[in-house]
Amino acid sequence: MESSKGLQQLFLQQIKDTIPSNLSFVDEVAEVLSLSSDSTYRRIRGETTLTFEEIEKLSRKFNVSIDNLFGNSQDLVTFHYRAINRENFTFDDYLESILGNLQAINKFDNKELIYAAKDIPLFHLLLFRELTAFKSSFG
């Protein structure tokens, strides 16, 4: 089991990996936590332990899950989904979310995509114009 200092370092590294290179990691974390640069550096170096509230704020802001920090369980699957909301969710949004997920997967060296569904996968539908039109209309 990793020490709490090691877990904090791994968590902060995950956050750092999400921040564009033109932005300051320290400034971004400091802003989210409403801390000075000095206080932020102490957390980054592991001299000060992050509180649960700080972890929650950072996790939500940078969309970083802490689940994988707590073990190497091979039978654990963590995922998120976008609930369909007819007022502000369009088919374009749906396709954009798929594209974003595929781009995220593509960043990894070792990747595997397992698609399980009760219907024909969307990617197969796009090969046939008539089937795509039918499914997008009568889904």
Mean pLDDT, residues 93-110: 85
Tokens describing residue 108: 């990894």
Looking at the chain, the domain(s) classified CATH 1.10.260 span: 4-68
CATH T-level assignment (fold) for domain 4-68: 434 Repressor (Amino-terminal Domain) (1.10.260)
2/48: higher pLDDT? 48
pLDDT at 82 (0 to 100): 65
Whether the CA torsion 98, 99, 102, 107 is positive or negative: it is negative
Instruction: Measure the CA–CA gap between 77 and 85, rounded to whole angstroms.
Output: 25
Mean pLDDT, residues 64-87: 68
pLDDT at 75 (0 to 100): 64
Instruction: Judge if pTM exceeds 0.75.
Output: no
The predicted-structure confidence for 32-62, as pLDDT tens digits, reads as follows 999 999 999 999 999 999 999 999 999 999 9
120/61: higher pLDDT? 61
